[in-house]
Structure 1
């Protein structure tokens, strides 16, 4: 009986363990919540493109002014003179009437241009176009150096004097510089006897017209001031006063005296692009300024 009771007790214990194992909880799966905030989006930085500055080659250059002797002359209205330097050593373009081509060699040290060949047309208008063409085709052969500044190409002779000044914009498509508020620098001066004067290098001659009717500038050595009135393209200047300094650079005081003497008799002004011309109205005396110091 004791053996039977022990067996029944052992069987009961086994059944209890089985029931306990069957009713134990299953392991729980822990899920990690998905974040609701999206990661920051990296925006690509837009690339900025800068327009390359014009180079000597591959650019159509429009002549703005040319020097004949000591006088600087603007291209005549109604004419277009161009120069295009290719990468094979040829320069070509319009000389105003005829097309031309020439060989050239450009180095860091300088620029040389050979004798141009051109077509043989004759143009009658505007007046002086053929003379201008002859001067241009002669001047271009004097090239010794060149410089680039923004949209401007300047070809100079062996002495560093500007022969030809070009722009990437046709001169008569330029927005004219305003008469007032602009500092104008004398480029060339031809007196009543037809004598061209060369401006001094120490102090460039300048003139500036203010909105209140006052005119001022530097005459090469001394500063000056006066008054002016304009009606259309007519101009009148008077009441000049100057400082009383003396400058020893040869020719400066003579040029200053002559320059100050003709200002009161200037009667007409014209502006073409960045160039101002004052004249006596009959073509004997001309003062040509531009905005380049």
Structure 2
């Protein structure tokens, strides 16, 4: 006797087998990180990066909150569909610098309480828990 499942049952079963391979699954899950350095200089504003949902990042830039998709397998880092709120504040230029740098990162490393994001151009962002 041959058993066959309708296609609408098979797809959810297979999708449940896919594990999270993003940064969240490798020591970052449920963590909030604070930016300390950008390109080897102390970052003077408050900016956070949250890894609370698999495949997603969120946080607070100097003026606005943001959210994006991040599904690249660790140690790679790539964000897509970045969305921010649109509040004005005196630190908009620092926020633009932060978000542009974040979007340009391509590699991640978690070492204890430190998260390092890098790109091929030599830029680096250092976050702590």
TM-score of the aligned structures, taking structure 2 as reference length: 0.72
**More contact order relative to length (CA 8 Å, sep ≥ 6):** 2
- 2:86 aligned residue: 120
**Kept after mapping to 2: 8 A contact 1:140/1:163:** no
1:115 deviation in Å?
4.4
1:58 deviation in Å?
1.1
**SS, match of residue 87 in structure 2:** coil
| Number of residue equivalences | 104
List 4+ stretches of structure 1 deviating above 2 A: none
1:75 matched to 2:43? The reply is: yes
- 2:35 aligned residue: 63
Cα distance in 2 for partners of 1:86, 1:140 equals 17
Cα distance in 2 for partners of 1:131, 1:115 equals 21
**Kept after mapping to 1: 8 A contact 2:70/2:78:** yes
**SS, match of residue 49 in structure 2:** strand
1:150 deviation in Å?
2.0
Looking at CA atoms only, which structure, 1 or 2, has the larger radius of gyration? 1
**SS, match of residue 91 in structure 1:** strand
Cα distance in 2 for partners of 1:74, 1:102 equals 24
Gaps of at least 5 residues in structure 1 are 1-53, 169-293
Instruction: Please give the per-residue CA displacement for 1:199-242, whole angstroms capped at 9, x wherever unaligned.
Output: xxxxxxxxxxxxxxxxxxxxxxxxxxxxxxxxxxxxxxxxxxxx
**Kept after mapping to 2: 8 A contact 1:155/1:164:** yes
- 1:133 aligned residue: 95
Gaps of at least 5 residues in structure 2 are 1-25
Relative distance call for 1:73 and 1:100 in structure 2 (3 A) is: same
- 1:151 aligned residue: 113
TM-score of the aligned structures, taking structure 1 as reference length: 0.33
Cα distance in 1 for partners of 2:76, 2:94 equals 25
Cα distance in 2 for partners of 1:90, 1:144 equals 15
